[in-house]
Amino acid sequence: MTHSRSPSVEIDITKVVTKAMELSSHSWEYGTAAESLLEFDSSLSVFSRDPFPGNKIPLIQVDGCRSLQYAKEHIQVDRETLCKDKNGVADPASLGVSAILLGQSEPSCREAAHRQMEYISKAPRYGNERALSHRTDVKEAWADFIYMVPPFLAYLAVAESETAHMKSAIHQCQAYRNVLANDSTGPDQGLWHHIVGPLNADPGYWSTSNGWVAAGLARVLATLKSWKLTRSWPAGSHIVSMIQDVLDGVIATDERRELETLLPNYLYSKDEEPWFDEVAGTALLASTVYRMAVLEPQIFEGTDSRTKFRYLDWAENKRQAVYKSVDPETGVARPAVNPLKHSQREPLMTGSPEGQSFVVLLWAAHRDYIESRNS
Beta carbons of 96 and 88 less than 8 angstroms apart: no
Q: How far is 129 from 140, CA to CA, in rounded Å?
A: 12
Contacts of 371 (CB under 8 A, 6+ apart): 42
pLDDT of the residue at 5: 62
Q: What is the mean pLDDT of each run of 10 residues along the chain (375 residues)?
A: 64 98 98 99 96 97 96 97 93 99 97 97 86 94 98 99 98 97 96 97 98 99 98 98 98 98 98 97 99 99 96 99 98 98 96 98 99 93
Angle of helix 150-160 relative to helix 163-180, nearest 10 degrees, comes to 170
Beta carbons of 17 and 38 less than 8 angstroms apart: no
pLDDT of the residue at 6: 67
pLDDT of the residue at 129: 80
- State how far the alpha carbon of 258 is from the alpha carbons of 54, 214, 252, 307, 336, in Å: 44, 21, 11, 11, 22
Query: Domains along the chain?
Result: 13-374 (1.50.10.10)
pLDDT of the residue at 27: 98
Angle of helix 235-252 relative to helix 311-324, nearest 10 degrees, comes to 60
Cα angle 173, 177, 180 (rounded to 5 degrees) comes to 130
